[in-house]
Amino acid sequence: MTVLIETIGLTKHYQAGEGVVAALKDVSLSITPGNFVAAMGPSGSGKSTFLNLIGCLDSATHGSYRLMNEDVAALSHDRLADLRSRRLGFVFQSFNLLPRADALANVELPLIYRGMPRRQRRERAAEALAAVGLADRMHHRPTQLSGGQQQRVAIARAIVGSPDLILADEPTGALDTRTGLSIMALFQALNQGGVGILMVTHDPDVARYAERVLRFRDGRLIADETQIPANVAKALEALPEADDAA
Amino acid sequence: MTSPLPPIMSTARRGIDVLEALRGALAALSANFLRSILTALGIFIGVAAVIATVAVGEGARRQVLAQIQSLGANLLIVWGGSATMGGVRLGAGGRSNLSWDDAAVIAREIPEVQVAAGSIRQTFQVVAGNQNWSTIVLATEPDYFIAHEWVADGGRLFSPEEAAGGRKVVILGATVAEMLFAEEDPVGREIRIRQTPFEVIGIMARKGQNPTGQDQDDTVFVPYWTARRSVMGASRANARQVGVISVKVHEGEDMAAAEDAIRALMRQRHRVAANEPDSVSIRNLSDIQATRDASARTLSALLASVAAVSLLVGGIGVMNIMLVSVTERTREIGLRLAIGARRRDVLAQFLLEAVMLALLGGAAGVLAGMALSHILADVAGWPVLVRADAVLIAVGVSALTGLFFGYWPARRAAHLDPITALRHE
């Protein structure tokens, strides 16, 4: 079986004042394509550092990281940017949409950096928005959308380049329970379509929907468990009362 | 529910999407419309002022140039020094020591000289019918018109026979013709100078003012020997005296060499001792031109420094606002870097924004400067000339200002750490 991600002894040190902080210590693991992985742990446990390293936003102090069999440590800034644009999609807790651009333009953004012609770009962005259920909101600006809709736009932006892996940093952290669940439902649906997901969360209720959970503490990977993901649809039904759906 | 989008096939290395960057820059500038306008204002004012002042300066320069050229090209005017009478020098206002023969000798002896024509002038009242006018009577020979590149507008100039034979003919300057004959054609008519009747044989083409503001057309021309015999009442002592000699140097010859030769020749003819100063002074009209050019260059240098200062101030404004923009949009930059923008994409984005800001200011400044020039031309009546190269330089320099002052903020944006930038509040 092919391996999407492989880390060996991945370690990250930060210079903090006089001392050196070891944010991540000796993490070795591999993730197969299409895996839905949740990284858990309290703040300062190293899970975000791990996400940044996997996302090619940061480089490791020691250890190796291979993405699709490519040694990331050896790559230039430009090649890392290319790798991010072709292989990865990012989803953030605070959505990070451009406030003055409409949903379509926000989703289009990654394709600009892949040199795609405008017309093709807009078609593809529209498809991505349709895939997250926002076909009728393409020309709304972020301020005209609810939190859940904004996160959907962000997810559309993450999948528009058909990445191998979506990196999600607390994707439900800014949303209420019901809306959070609908986002998890979307992730599960995307995952069933074949996209790998690495999601950082501190919330065990959210981690339930992944098929694998990594637990971090003090920079170390302390547990790596496979589980049967919980069914989001049932959880949604079980919610006491239906607020306005996102 | 959700099927993934098909993979993107093209993996070609890409350049920077300039059109898209342009669109983005425009969007960013219009998002902060008032701020963009205010930032561009510095460059706008600088460029507008420069375009207008250059137009005025150029207009004035052309006017002066035209005046100087109206006097004749390659022209040297030889002025007599004061005559010396019994060891007493009579001063510049005294009688001239130049003679008719000096002119002939200059023309004959100095190879650089094309023609040399002596002339003498005196103010008289001239009368035609019941009209009279006080004007300058200039007594000279046909070569004078060659030296001064002056042609007749109607009728003809003197023939050599008329010049030598003392016939009573006169050529009127345009102003005199107007004063004495109004709309009528004066050629063939008669005017009187000091009771002596003269036949009008021609009218000179209009020359306008000379650089000192005198109307060159307020003159009548009579043959030298006619004037000496019948009007200017020559005494024996100064029968062959002339006031100035107009010398035309052959095209392409060295004016300075001709001047030196004339000086030396005049010293010899006037028997000036080795320790005494020159007997003549020579005015070279290209010297006047050079002086004007020099003052024009001083003015240009002044304008250039004003332009440089205003562009510097404008550029610092651009840099300031770009730094603010980079700080405000730190998260956006982090996001762009995370989703695949290379450093050079971010650099190009902010650089283009700065250049467009400066260029918009510059282009608006050019338009305002041109409008201002036309207003000055209409209202103040100044001759103005907007030069195309000044416009191009102004636009180019404002673009360069944007590039120069936008580089540092853009570089700062491009080198942001995406993780830190994404956490920026």
| Residue B287 clears pLDDT 80, i.e. is over it | no
- The residues that bridge with B113 in the sheet, in sequence order, are B249
Q: How far apart are CA A10 and CA A51, in angstroms?
A: 12
Task: Give how far A241 is from chain B: nearest CA, Å.
Answer: 24
In single-letter form, the type of residue at position A57 comes to: L
Higher pLDDT, A174 or B80: A174
Q: What is the pLDDT confidence band of residue A246, given thresholds at 50, 70 and 90?
A: very low
Inter-chain residue contact A115 with B15, CB threshold 8 Å: yes
Q: Nearest 5°: phi and psi at B168?
A: -90, 80
Q: Which of A12-21, A170-179, B14-23 has the lowest mean pLDDT?
A: B14-23
Higher pLDDT, A108 or A73: A108
**Is A119 a member of any domain?**
yes
Residue B195's nearest CA partner among B144, B246, B231 is B231
Whether A35 and A89 have beta carbons less than 8 Å apart is answered as: no
Find the CATH number of the domain harbouring A101: 3.40.50.300
Q: How many CA atoms lie within 13 A of B73 on its CB side?
A: 8
Whether B339 and A113 have beta carbons less than 8 Å apart is answered as: yes
- Which of B8, B17, B342 lies closest to A161 in CB terms? B8
**Is A220 a member of any domain?**
yes
**What's the number of domains chain A is made of?**
1
Both structure tokens of A59: 């480089």
Higher pLDDT, B96 or A79: A79
Task: Give how far A51 is from chain B: nearest CA, Å.
Answer: 11
Whether B409 and B320 have beta carbons less than 8 Å apart is answered as: no
Q: What is the pLDDT confidence band of residue A196, given thresholds at 50, 70 and 90?
A: very high
Residue B362's nearest CA partner among B404, B410, B399, B307 is B399
- Chain B hits for A232, CB-CB cut-off 8 Å, are none
- Which of B1, B17, B344 lies closest to A112 in CB terms? B17
Residue A189's nearest CA partner among A166, A173, A169 is A166
Which pLDDT score is estimated for B1?
46
Which pLDDT score is estimated for B289?
67
Whether B382 and B353 have beta carbons less than 8 Å apart is answered as: no
Inter-chain residue contact A161 with B340, CB threshold 8 Å: yes
Residue A157's nearest CA partner among A100, A93, A90 is A90
Inter-chain residue contact A84 with B17, CB threshold 8 Å: no
**Is A9 a member of any domain?**
no
Percent share of chain A, pLDDT over 70? 97
| Residue B125 clears pLDDT 60, i.e. is over it | yes
**Is A196 a member of any domain?**
yes
Q: How far apart are CA A139 and CA A142, in angstroms?
A: 10
The per-residue pLDDT of chain B, averaged, comes to: 84
Residue A163's nearest CA partner among A219, A88, A94 is A88
Which pLDDT score is estimated for B231?
82
A86 touches chain B (CB under 8 A): yes
Within 10 A of B408 (CB to CB), how many other CB atoms are there?
15
Name the percent of chain A in helix, strand, coil, to the closest 5. Answer: 35, 25, 35
From its phi and psi, is residue A203 left (phi > 0), alpha (psi between -120 and 50) or beta?
beta
- Chain A hits for B15, CB-CB cut-off 8 Å, are 115
- Chain A hits for B4, CB-CB cut-off 8 Å, are 131, 159, 162, 190, 193-195
Q: What is the pLDDT confidence band of residue B380, given thresholds at 50, 70 and 90?
A: confident
Strands B152-155, A165-169: parallel, antiparallel or unpaired by DSSP?
unpaired
Best B10, B22, B329, B339 member to test A by mutation, with max A CBs in 10 Å, is: B339
- Chain B hits for A189, CB-CB cut-off 8 Å, are 1-2
Higher pLDDT, B378 or B359: B359
Angle subtended at Cα B144 by Cα B139 and Cα B149, rounded to the nearest 5 degrees: 140
pLDDT, tens digit (0-9, with 9 covering 90-100), for B68-121: 666 677 888 888 865 555 555 555 445 678 888 899 999 999 998 999 999 988
pLDDT, tens digit (0-9, with 9 covering 90-100), for B329-356: 999 999 999 999 999 999 999 999 999 9
pLDDT, tens digit (0-9, with 9 covering 90-100), for A93-144: 999 999 989 999 999 999 999 888 889 999 999 999 999 999 999 999 999 9
Task: Give how far A239 is from chain B: nearest CA, Å.
Answer: 21
Inter-chain residue contact B343 with A78, CB threshold 8 Å: yes
Over residues A233-240, the mean pLDDT reads 83
**Is A113 a member of any domain?**
yes
Higher pLDDT, B270 or A52: A52
A157 touches chain B (CB under 8 A): yes
Domain residue limits at A109: 34-43+83-238
- Please name the residue that has the structure tokens 């200059």: B106
A113 touches chain B (CB under 8 A): yes
Which pLDDT score is estimated for B399?
92
- Predicted structure pTM score: 0.72
From its phi and psi, is residue A183 left (phi > 0), alpha (psi between -120 and 50) or beta?
alpha
Q: List the single residue in A with minimal CA-CA distance to B30.
A: A100
Both structure tokens of B53: 């002042």
| Residue A59 clears pLDDT 90, i.e. is over it | no
Q: What is the pLDDT confidence band of residue A34, given thresholds at 50, 70 and 90?
A: very high
A29 touches chain B (CB under 8 A): no
Angle subtended at Cα B146 by Cα B145 and Cα B149, rounded to the nearest 5 degrees: 80
**Is A101 a member of any domain?**
yes
Q: How far apart are CA B232 and CA B211, in angstroms?
A: 28
A93 touches chain B (CB under 8 A): no
Inter-chain residue contact B6 with A162, CB threshold 8 Å: yes
Which pLDDT score is estimated for A122?
94
Q: Which of A213-222, B26-35, B110-119, B286-295 has the lowest mean pLDDT?
A: B286-295
Task: Find which of A12-16, A163-167, B55-59, B177-181 is predicted with most confidence, using mean pLDDT.
Answer: A163-167
- Which of A115, A128, A189 lies closest to B5 in CB terms? A128
Higher pLDDT, B209 or A227: A227
Which pLDDT score is estimated for B18?
79
Number of A/B CB contacts below 8 angstroms equals 99
**Is A244 a member of any domain?**
no
pLDDT, tens digit (0-9, with 9 covering 90-100), for B26-57: 888 888 899 999 999 889 988 888 888 888 77
A184-199 in b/e burial notation, b at 16+ Cβ within 10 A? Answer: bbbbbbbbeeebbbbb
Q: How far apart are CA A130 and CA B312, in angstroms?
A: 50
Best A57, A79, A88, A165 member to test B by mutation, with max B CBs in 10 Å, is: A57
- In angstroms, what CA-CA distances link B408 with A151, B16, B318, B398, B412? 34, 19, 11, 17, 6
Q: How far apart are CA B135 and CA A91, in angstroms?
A: 95
